[in-house]
DNA sequence: CGCTTTCTTGACTGGATTCAAATATGGTGG
DNA sequence: CCACCATATTTGAATCCAGTCAAGAAAGCG
């Protein structure tokens, strides 16, 4: 599977920009969030939409990446695979997340669509000009980069010091918080349904665990009453507070202070 | 030790700005790297110097951090400690590295001086104004944040997927590359002396390992002829290329593409 | 409905941790 | 300058958590 992914079809469907930035679902969270009407008009002219099917490679580590994009819908992973096949996912990309780095021509990681993904994208040069000439894009990009940096460091604590059980719970807590935020809530409810965007293998690659260990932890957590499994990808969290406690992080609730 | 660190004296020695920005050792690498003479003049008026002795806490996770700083000399760690004492270091701060985040009043991590540290610092408000009004600072800060983000994600691969041996070697390779860059070289020589800024405990906290495992790996690597130990903190690397191979990362040489 | 893929479970192994003790190091005062 | 002490580091032995290998169960898809 890991090997065969190389043969993945680079399925791609070009789309005309059918929605205006004003109606864009990620309007208030993406790199354009701080833009005013005039700035949006400029983006409107420069942007294009593209859709990749699940499994497609959006970028490959070390290879040129000549568009910078925001995810509008769908989910992708950012990962690196070592020569012997060990893979570590370093980011889960969801709507409003940004792909690529201004000022760098090559991708540092593999980026793969794990579901159908639609991007709002700009040619590298065009976007770099936008960053230079549009202060609201530059500041927003900076904020997003710093947020990602904090998230990445927080995840390092999970990878470096947590047990398999704590790792799984930490990921569930993170996914729940991101889902809640996408729905405009401050925090998840006490009880709710959580959709897992990744397979067990995808989760394992994110957690620095094997599939088997990840699966065993799911079973254990279910037996311990932390959630019910409606399906392999759908959990019913019983008591979110208990989950947070199990995560073991001396966490402030994920709220940015 | 971990507990007693709480009693650490917040030793601090105020210094007048004795060096001009033009002569500053981190002039071309720090957040001010892109500034022109006029901009430096503004920084010159706003900056102040402060020195902390080894062991001092420069910041505490969750607590206010009301200065933003650049490290001029010395070394500090950025870490988080879980309630039960497990600690993970998420960053090693060396000369020209930046401490703090514009737009956030509280530190996300503990920051501790591991040697005597001298900072060039600005009051939060002052610096935030500088970022807003000085494009060269904003762009440099962005570049630094993105570099740190890549470094943090690269480290996640090490924490999540590497063996104890590979972790130790990866850290040595990183330290060697940073040292070489500080000396203006592109890459380390084949053979050279490497100073370890951290104790075995400090290294272990960075690697997500115990002191014992870290120590055992040092012994094994020494026996395997990868380096000689001139002292506990001083290694003589025999063949850097071999070290890079042992690190196992499909690494491009750490050069930013 | 049958096939493939994904997920779960079991048994065993092994690398890193834990607990414990010995040794080395570095700083300090005599 | 050296002896001494506290601290840091190394080493040893036993344990345990997660990995590996293998097989069975469930889910998804044509």
Residue of chain B nearest A140, judged by CA positions: B142
Residue of chain A nearest B88, judged by CA positions: A157
Enumerate residues near strand C (beta carbon within 7 A): A 1, 199-201, 211-212, 214-216, 218-219, 229, 232-233; B 163-165, 208-210, 212-213, 216, 231-233
Question: CA–CA separation, B161 vs A181, rounded Å?
Answer: 30
**Is CATH 2.60.120.10 the right assignment for the domain spanning A4-151?**
yes
Superfamily of domain B4-145: Jelly Rolls (2.60.120.10)
Residue A253: is its pLDDT beyond 80? no
Full pLDDT tens readout for chain B, 257 residues: 333 333 344 455 555 556 889 899 999 999 999 999 999 999 999 999 999 999 999 999 999 999 999 999 999 999 999 999 999 999 999 999 999 999 999 999 999 999 999 999 999 999 999 999 999 999 999 999 999 999 999 999 999 999 999 999 999 999 999 999 999 999 999 999 999 999 999 999 999 999 999 999 999 999 999 999 999 999 999 999 999 999 987 655 555 44
Q: Which helix (H) or strand (E) holds A242?
A: helix A240-247
Strands B12-15 and A98-99: unpaired
Q: Domain segments of chain A: what residues? A: 4-151, 162-247
Give one DSSP letter per residue of B126-168, joined into a string.
Answer: HHHHHHHH-HHHHHHHHHHHHHHHHHHHHHHHHHHH--HHHHH
Q: Is residue A2 within 8 Å of A85, Cβ to Cβ?
A: yes
Q: Is residue B104 within 8 Å of A256, Cβ to Cβ?
A: yes
Q: What is the pLDDT of residue B15?
A: 57
Mutate which of B81, B130, B146 to disrupt the A interface (most A C-beta within 10 Å)?
B146
Whether B149 and A150 lie within 8 Å, measured CB to CB:
no
Closest by CA to A171, choosing from A124, A139, A206, is A206
Q: What is the pLDDT of residues A124-170, one digit of tens each?
A: 999 999 999 999 999 999 999 999 999 999 999 999 999 999 999 99
C-alpha distance from A19 to closest chain B C-alpha (Å): 30
Nearest by CB: B145 against A82, A149, A257? A149
Closest by CA to A203, choosing from A186, A189, A221, is A221
Q: What is the pLDDT of residue A19?
A: 81
- Which residue's CA lies closest to nucleotide D9 at its C1' atom? B215
- Which residue's CA lies closest to nucleotide D21 at its C1' atom? A212
Residue A251: is its pLDDT beyond 70? no
* Interchain CB contact of A19 with B (< 8 Å): no
Mutate which of A87, A139, A160 to disrupt the B interface (most B C-beta within 10 Å)?
A160
For residue A211, the 8-state DSSP code is H
B residues 204-233 near A, CB within 8 Å? 207-208
Average pLDDT on A44-70 reads 96
Average pLDDT on A13-22 reads 70
Fold that domain B162-247 belongs to in CATH: Arc Repressor Mutant, subunit A (1.10.10)
Residue A60: is its pLDDT beyond 90? yes
Nearest nt (C1') from A167 Cα: D18
What are the residues whose beta carbons fall under 8 Å from the beta carbon of A253, sequence distance 6 or more? Answer: A187, A244
Sign of the Cα pseudo-torsion (A156, A162, A164, A168, in order):
negative
Q: Is residue B172 within 8 Å of B157, Cβ to Cβ?
A: no
Closest by CA to B208, choosing from B160, B150, B153, B154, is B160
Q: What is the pLDDT of residues A174-210, one digit of tens each?
A: 999 999 999 999 999 999 999 999 999 999 999 999 9
Q: What is the pLDDT of residue B249?
A: 74
Give one DSSP letter per residue of A17-48, joined into a string.
Answer: --S-GGG-TTTTTSTTTT--HHHHHHHHHH-E
Total count of residues recorded for chain A: 257
Q: Which helix (H) or strand (E) holds B57?
A: strand B57-59
Query: How many angstroms separate the CA of B213 from the C1' of C17?
Result: 8
Query: How many angstroms separate the CA of A172 from the C1' of D23?
Result: 29
């Amino acid at each position: 599977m890991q090997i065969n992914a190389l043969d993945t079809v680079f399925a791609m469907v070009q789309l005309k920009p059918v929605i205006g930035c004003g109606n864009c679902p990620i309007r208030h969270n993406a790199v354009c969030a701080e833009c005013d009407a005039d700035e949006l008009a400029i983006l409107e002219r420069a942007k294009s939409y593209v859709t990749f099917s699940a499994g497609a490679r959006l970028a490959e580590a070390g290879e040129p990446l000549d568009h910078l994009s925001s995810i509008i819908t769908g989910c992708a992973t950012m990962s690196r695979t070592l020569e012997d096949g060990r893979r570590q996912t370093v980011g889960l990309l969801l709507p409003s997340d940004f792909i690529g780095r201004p000022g760098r021509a090559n991708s540092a990681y593999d980026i793969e669509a794990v579901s159908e993904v639609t991007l709002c994208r700009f040619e590298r040069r065009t976007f770099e000009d936008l960053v230079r000439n549009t202060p609201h894009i530059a500041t927003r990009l900076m904020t997003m980069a710093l947020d990602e940096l904090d998230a990445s460091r927080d995840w390092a604590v999970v990878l470096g010091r947590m047990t398999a059980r704590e790792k799984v719970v930490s990921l569930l807590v993170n996914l729940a918080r991101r889902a809640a935020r996408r729905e405009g809530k401050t925090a998840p409810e006490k009880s709710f349904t959580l959709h897992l965007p990744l397979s067990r293998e995808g989760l394992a690659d994110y957690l620095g665990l094997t599939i088997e260990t990840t699966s065993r932890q799911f079973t254990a957590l279910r037996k311990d009453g932390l959630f019910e499994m409606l399906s392999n990808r759908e959990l019913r969290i019983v008591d979110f507070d208990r989950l947070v406690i199990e995560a073991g992080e001396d966490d402030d609730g994920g709220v940015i202070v």
